[in-house]
A and B are shown apart, each in its own frame.
Chain A
Amino acid sequence: MSIIRRMSNLFLRSRVDREIDAELQSHIDLRTDENVACGMSPEAARRDALVRFGSRAATQEKVAAADTALGLDRFWFDLRYAARQLRRSPGFTITAVLTLTLGIGSNTAVFSSMDAVVLRPLAVPHLDRVVTLFEQQDRGTSDQTTLANYADWLRESTSFENLAAYSAADMSMTGSGDPTRVSVALTSPNFFQMMRADAFLGRIFADSEARPGRDAVAVLNYGFWQRRFGADATICGRKVELDQRSYTVIGVMPKTMQYPAAIDLFVPLAPTAQQLSDRKNRNYFVIGRLRDGVTLKQAQAEMRTIGERLAKDYPATNAGWSVRVEPLLARINGEWTPMYYRLIMGATLFVLLVVCANVANLQLARGVSRRSEIAMRSALGATRWRIVRQLLTENILLALIGSFGGVIFAAAYLHILVISMPQRIIRYIPGWSNTSLNGRALLFSLGLAALAGLASGFTPALEALRVRPLEQLKAGGRSSTGSRGSRLRSLFAVSQIALAVALVIGAALISKGMFSLLHIADAYQPDKVLTYSITLPDSRYDTPQKKAAWYADSLEKLRALPGASHAEVTTALPHSDDGWVRDCEIENRPTIPGKYQSARQISVSPGYFDALHIAIVSGRNFNQGDSLDSVPVALISRRLADLYFGDQNPIGHRIRMGGRDSHDSWVTIVGIAEETTYDLWLDTQAPVVYLNMAQHPSEWATFTIFTEGNPLALAAPARKAVATIDAALPLDGQMTWRQNLNESLTGLMYSAGMLGLDALIALLLSAIGIFGVMANLVGERTREIGVRVAMGATRQSVLALVLRRASWLTAAGIGTGLVMAFFLARMVAHLLRGVRPDDPLVFITITLVLAAVALGSSWIPARRAARIDPMQALRSE
């Protein structure tokens, strides 16, 4: 490799110098010898040789430079030449750089976000070797297991370096500020070792702290430490109270270890002997790290064998359960997030492709006027490869400037992305707050720039190769490269318009769908409702009586608040996705085997139906007479009556939730309520069984306070009122119902926003694309148009001539785009609720907008054509 030789020459300069010196000296000596042989005196011979040689120092310097040049001089030359060429056509340069900035910038931003959320949500070494283990029953799944099973897995398996177990619990934290609900992970001490994560502050658990009585220590999650303790660096040693028990904070985990998602703090899992032998309660998550060299398949095979043996040994609890091993990453990401990201990344990359086509297109348009320049250069001895390299350098320079702009664009984009995401949601997305323009993203954008430069320079370079210097020089810069080039350009323009049509229609459909989702609950006037949720801790509310009493008391207090028209409690609000869908059974009516009867179980206070204007279609509403001492009653939704009772009147029948082995009590149906939707995403709704909160008080519930005024003004009074009953009980997420709904739609809004940006860029590109083609067309046909005008063609007919051509291109693009949009819409409608694939309004509006943009951008070249002065056009020959 000559480049390596030259580089080593750089470092061995003195040796190189000595050698050159010797070579030059030998040259002088040889001439001296010859002079002497010709009869000169040695003195004269030497002088003559030196004089002929000229400046020896200068030559020595030049030779050394040749040895150490690295070939960079030529590259610099190309670069300077490219910069000069670009400066000479600022319109082209600015357009190309701006489109490249948008293309590369949006790709860099989407990649960074995907990198942080999907590819590396946790900064854990070799995240791909971390797996989750869970049990699966024949029907349905579970993502947990029992402690006794965990102990057996730990003892018998050889595939794993380490297996850790944890369970999650909600506790109330008191003793520092307002009581709060916190999510706690009770982890075995080896959890952090398995993750290979160390504390950011303080320390992680010691093995000895996994014993009951010594486990009163806590490690905080980074986000929680910031939110709750203002990132207090002296937090270690502080006492906090969890469910009335005192814990000492011993450490804080780093920001990049947000797992399990939404966990606020960790405490040691300190199981009692009884818990350790428990094979019934599947409450524990198991997570492990594969030993080096063990594949996921091998681990899965080993665990299947162990699971089968356990099922044989403990048929009562383990029969029918098998063990599954899955990568942790798949568990963190779930099914939908990677798919949304792939969709967006794909669309964005596609946009970049169009950006490249566009720059190539503009280059081709410029190429017409550059043919003479290229011909001149090749006549002066530039090789073809050199000319191609020159053009590619120019494009890569453009792309590099574009990627510089793109990185700035991406940084701004990501900043907006991160700061606009509500804190409450970030907790659930490990990796979101790690989003940053890191080295990988910068590398990615540089790679894109190089690719974009090559891709957009390729066609113009090929065009340049077809320039025949001789003919070009003879023709004086008039000849065209023929119809092939212009066909290619037209194809670019058509595909750009097509893509813009498809993307803009897709994005418009999604925004429209999203808009309809934002207004899904408008009938309930969610702006006038204050919501918050509570969880009654088991330790203090261990009987239904205590819970029911607390609900009754707090509803009474809330209803007395000035301005509150209704105060109700429920376990699920419409469109909240809350509430359990459980198997249900109707008394004296055997279920058809293989067919499952299920319903969403919701406990509500009696005034719930009134407050939400849900009509009772027949029978009666709950009333104050229903209590824990009276007959348990239920209302069912109209759909449930239709589905499971047919023509029969359901009122008076008894129903039981929880399937065949249920310990729930039978409840008597007393009324039928109008259908209400509790799902947010799915179109298929489960029928509903409403229970009375006074008879089935739940551990967790959402309160709703209806008012005519500003609901947030009721937040503080409500907090105070509830505190008079139980001061240690936290109210979670006090906000209006509207805010609550919007938060659950955040992810969708992000996807829609990113697609919308792609669509906007595509629209802009299609305008530039058709402008480039038409400007080029007018440029190439200047002489022809001049002749036409000279022969008496009017300005209008020239205008029409150009616009007719533009209309053809536009029509072809829109036609193709509509077909693509049709399929895209079907796909999107499948993915997102509320998107109607056959929305004629969107299709027609977007088509008109696109047509207007395309024709509008060909207006400038058309006007220029109409203004061509025939005399000048002909004289320029």
Chain B
Amino acid sequence: MAKNDLQGTLDLLILKTLDQNGVLHGYGIVLHIQSASNDLLRVEEGSLYPALHRMEQSGWIASEWAMTETNRRAKYYKLTAEGRRQLERAQESFDQLVKGVRAVLRFA
């Protein structure tokens, strides 16, 4: 459960990042999450890329090779329509989780 759950959170972070920034490569996603969370969250590359590929296979995001500003080839990701829907679902489920955990903590 717990592993699934953390994975779900990472997915949510990636989806949200792409939703806000449009098109980004993996490195860009890492940087964005780090800065947007005031350095609280650091995404491991070892988790990021499997997650990106899994999400692409699920049809939530699409990818394309393109050149960076520094003239390097990189793989860029962007949200699909299905990914947008998934983002909403994931957000809702995350809210529920937080509420549930809070409730449990309050009662304990």
A37 nearest CB neighbor, chain B only: B70
B55 nearest CB neighbor, chain A only: A66
Which residues of B are found within 8 Å of A2, using beta-carbon distances? Answer: 57-59
Mark each residue of chain B from 16 to 57: 1 if its CB lies under 8 Å from any CB of chain A, else 0.
000000000111000000000000000011100111111001
Distance of B80 from chain A, by nearest CB (Å): 11
Given contacts A2-B57, A20-B53, A33-B70, 15 further A-B contacts (CB under 8 A): A2-B58, A22-B73, A27-B27, A31-B27, A33-B72, A54-B44, A58-B46, A59-B45, A63-B50, A66-B51, A66-B57, A378-B96, A379-B101, A382-B1, A383-B93
Hey, which bits of chain A sit against chain B, CB under 8 A? 2, 5-6, 19-20, 22-24, 26-27, 29-31, 33, 52-55, 58-59, 62-63, 65-67, 69, 377-383, 469-470, 473-474
Residue in A54, A59, A474 whose beta carbon sits within 8 Å of that of B103 in the complex: A474
Residue pair A63, B49 in contact (C-beta under 8 Å)? yes
Residue pair A65, B27 in contact (C-beta under 8 Å)? no
A61 nearest CB neighbor, chain B only: B50
Residue pair A381, B57 in contact (C-beta under 8 Å)? no
A54 nearest CB neighbor, chain B only: B46
- In the complex the two chains form, what is the Cα distance from A33 to B74 in whole Å? 13
When A and B form their complex, which 9 residue pairs have the shortest distance between CB atoms, in order from nearest? A379-B100, A66-B53, A66-B54, A62-B50, A30-B27, A381-B5, A26-B74, A380-B1, A66-B50
Residue pair A23, B75 in contact (C-beta under 8 Å)? yes
Per the 8 Å Cβ criterion, residues 85-102 of B in contact with A are: 89, 93-94, 96-97, 99-101
Q: Is the interface of A mostly helix, strand, loop or mixed?
A: helix
Which residues of A are found within 8 Å of B59, using beta-carbon distances? Answer: 2
Interface centre among A6, A24, A63, A377 (most CB of B within 10 A): A63
Q: Is the C-beta of B104 less than 8 angstroms from some C-beta in chain A?
A: yes
Residue pair A377, B54 in contact (C-beta under 8 Å)? no
Residue in B5, B44, B54 whose beta carbon sits within 8 Å of that of A380 in the complex: B5
Which residues of A are found within 8 Å of B46, using beta-carbon distances? Answer: 54-55, 58-59, 62
Residue pair B8, A29 in contact (C-beta under 8 Å)? no
- In the complex the two chains form, what is the Cα distance from A30 to B25 in whole Å? 10
Hey, which bits of chain B sit against chain A, CB under 8 A? 1-2, 4-5, 8, 25-27, 44-46, 49-54, 57-59, 68, 70, 72-75, 89, 93-94, 96-97, 99-101, 103-104, 107
Interface centre among A24, A30, A382 (most CB of B within 10 A): A30
Q: Is the interface of B mostly helix, strand, loop or mixed?
A: helix
Which residues of A are found within 8 Å of B97, using beta-carbon distances? Answer: 379-381
Residue in A31, A67, A378, A383 whose beta carbon sits within 8 Å of that of B57 in the complex: A67
Residue pair A473, B49 in contact (C-beta under 8 Å)? no
Residue pair B45, A5 in contact (C-beta under 8 Å)? no
Which residues of B are found within 8 Å of A67, using beta-carbon distances? Answer: 53, 57
- In the complex the two chains form, what is the Cα distance from A480 to B99 in whole Å? 22
Residue pair A27, B103 in contact (C-beta under 8 Å)? no
Which residues of B are found within 8 Å of A473, using beta-carbon distances? Answer: 100, 103-104
Residue pair B100, A59 in contact (C-beta under 8 Å)? no
Distance of A640 from chain B, by nearest CB (Å): 85
Which residues of B are found within 8 Å of A66, using beta-carbon distances? Answer: 50-51, 53-54, 57
Distance of A477 from chain B, by nearest CB (Å): 14
- In the complex the two chains form, what is the Cα distance from A578 to B32 in whole Å? 95
Which residues of B are found within 8 Å of A470, using beta-carbon distances? Answer: 99-100, 103
Q: List 6 A–B pairs whose Cβ atoms lie within 8 Å, in order of A's numbering.
A: A26-B25, A27-B25, A31-B27, A54-B45, A380-B2, A473-B100
Which residues of A are found within 8 Å of B70, using beta-carbon distances? Answer: 30, 33
Residue pair A52, B50 in contact (C-beta under 8 Å)? no
A55 nearest CB neighbor, chain B only: B46
Distance of A603 from chain B, by nearest CB (Å): 84
Which residues of B are found within 8 Å of A19, using beta-carbon distances? Answer: 75
Distance of B44 from chain A, by nearest CB (Å): 7
Distance of B1 from chain A, by nearest CB (Å): 5
B99 nearest CB neighbor, chain A only: A470
- In the complex the two chains form, what is the Cα distance from A55 to B50 in whole Å? 13
Residue in B2, B53, B58, B96 whose beta carbon sits within 8 Å of that of A63 in the complex: B53
Residue pair A62, B49 in contact (C-beta under 8 Å)? yes
Residue pair A6, B107 in contact (C-beta under 8 Å)? no
- In the complex the two chains form, what is the Cα distance from A5 to B107 in whole Å? 47
Distance of B5 from chain A, by nearest CB (Å): 4
Residue pair B49, A30 in contact (C-beta under 8 Å)? no
Residue pair B89, A383 in contact (C-beta under 8 Å)? yes
Residue pair B57, A469 in contact (C-beta under 8 Å)? no
Which residues of B are found within 8 Å of A55, using beta-carbon distances? Answer: 46
Residue in B44, B49, B54 whose beta carbon sits within 8 Å of that of A24 in the complex: B49
Residue in B2, B26, B54, B58 whose beta carbon sits within 8 Å of that of A27 in the complex: B26
Residue pair B53, A26 in contact (C-beta under 8 Å)? no
Residue pair A469, B100 in contact (C-beta under 8 Å)? yes
B26 nearest CB neighbor, chain A only: A27
B73 nearest CB neighbor, chain A only: A26
Which residues of A are found within 8 Å of B68, using beta-carbon distances? Answer: 30
Distance of A12 from chain B, by nearest CB (Å): 14
B44 nearest CB neighbor, chain A only: A54
- In the complex the two chains form, what is the Cα distance from A22 to B8 in whole Å? 26
Which residues of A are found within 8 Å of B27, using beta-carbon distances? Answer: 26-27, 30-31
Distance of A45 from chain B, by nearest CB (Å): 13
A9 nearest CB neighbor, chain B only: B57
Interface centre among B44, B46, B68, B89 (most CB of A within 10 A): B46
Which residues of A are found within 8 Å of B72, using beta-carbon distances? Answer: 26, 29-30, 33
Residue in B25, B74, B93, B103 whose beta carbon sits within 8 Å of that of A381 in the complex: B93
Interface centre among B51, B58, B100 (most CB of A within 10 A): B100
Residue in B8, B57, B100 whose beta carbon sits within 8 Å of that of A69 in the complex: B57
Which residues of B are found within 8 Å of A63, using beta-carbon distances? Answer: 49-50, 52-53
Which residues of A are found within 8 Å of B75, using beta-carbon distances? Answer: 19, 22-23, 26
Which residues of A are found within 8 Å of B51, using beta-carbon distances? Answer: 66
Residue in B5, B57, B104 whose beta carbon sits within 8 Å of that of A6 in the complex: B57
- In the complex the two chains form, what is the Cα distance from A57 to B88 in whole Å? 34
- In the complex the two chains form, what is the Cα distance from A470 to B27 in whole Å? 39
Residue pair B26, A69 in contact (C-beta under 8 Å)? no
Distance of B93 from chain A, by nearest CB (Å): 6
A378 nearest CB neighbor, chain B only: B96
Which residues of B are found within 8 Å of A23, using beta-carbon distances? Answer: 26, 49, 74-75
Interface centre among B44, B68, B74 (most CB of A within 10 A): B74
Which residues of A are found within 8 Å of B44, using beta-carbon distances? Answer: 54
Distance of B8 from chain A, by nearest CB (Å): 5
- In the complex the two chains form, what is the Cα distance from A33 to B72 in whole Å? 10
Residue pair A69, B54 in contact (C-beta under 8 Å)? yes
A77 nearest CB neighbor, chain B only: B4
- In the complex the two chains form, what is the Cα distance from A54 to B49 in whole Å? 12
Which residues of B are found within 8 Å of A33, using beta-carbon distances? Answer: 70, 72
- In the complex the two chains form, what is the Cα distance from A5 to B59 in whole Å? 10
